[in-house]
Amino acid sequence: MLAAAVAGDERAVALLLAKVHPQVERFCRARLGRRETILGSADDVAQDVCMAVLSVLPAYRPSGMSFRAFVFGIARHKVADAFRAMARNRCDAVEELPERFSREDDPEQVVLDAERNDRLSELMGLLGPRQVEILTLRIAVGLSAEETADALGSTPGAVRVAQHRALQRLRRELEDRASRR
């Protein structure tokens, strides 16, 4: 399918993007969360990644790394661009009220989701940026250690070790919190 997409087959390009987009979107959401950046939301950044993939697809040549790793390399750069744009932005964001209340959002579930996300963010804050990125690519996106290593410019062994250490750190922290209760 990749070879056909590179050759310009529109159906293959559409199928390729249909496979890549959900994974890229999960990665961007995991890295950016619900933050609105000057470049837009995580969904907008994911769309930018897909557009970048489309623009380089005709010139893509396999270079020893998987295509998914190539795509997530682009995604990492786009997310970094979004963080840089947020750092340069001197505006204070103000939430806007929705035009109408969605009856689908159970208020209790919204609160529980927000609390869970806060706890998860707090735990991830204990890790270094590289460990967070490895966990995001391996767990949230579902990349293999080899694909993650390609995307990060590392080795699969180093990715596995960093993932193991990050999970051990989180496990110890959760055990410490449980014992304090």
Per-residue model confidence (pLDDT) at position 83: 80
CA distance 71 to 166: 24
- Threshold 0.95, pTM exceeds: no
Per-residue model confidence (pLDDT) at position 89: 59
The whole-chain average pLDDT of the chain stands at 85
**Considering only 19-28, 39-48, 126-135, which range has the smallest mean pLDDT?**
39-48
CA distance 4 to 13: 8
| Residue with tokens 């998987």, as numbered in its chain | 66
Query: What average pLDDT does this structure show over 149-167?
Result: 93
Q: Residue 163 — very low, low, confident or very high, per pLDDT cuts 50/70/90?
A: very high
Per-residue model confidence (pLDDT) at position 53: 92
CA distance 37 to 40: 5
Q: Residue 35 — very low, low, confident or very high, per pLDDT cuts 50/70/90?
A: low
| Confidence check: pLDDT of 96 > 80 | no
User: If we measure between CA atoms, which residue out of 144, 181, 176, 150 comes closest to residue 163?
Assistant: 144
| Confidence check: pLDDT of 84 > 90 | no
Identify whether the C-beta of residue 7 lies closer than 8 Å to the C-beta of residue 61: no
Q: CA end-to-end span of the chain, whole Å?
A: 53
Per-residue model confidence (pLDDT) at position 112: 84
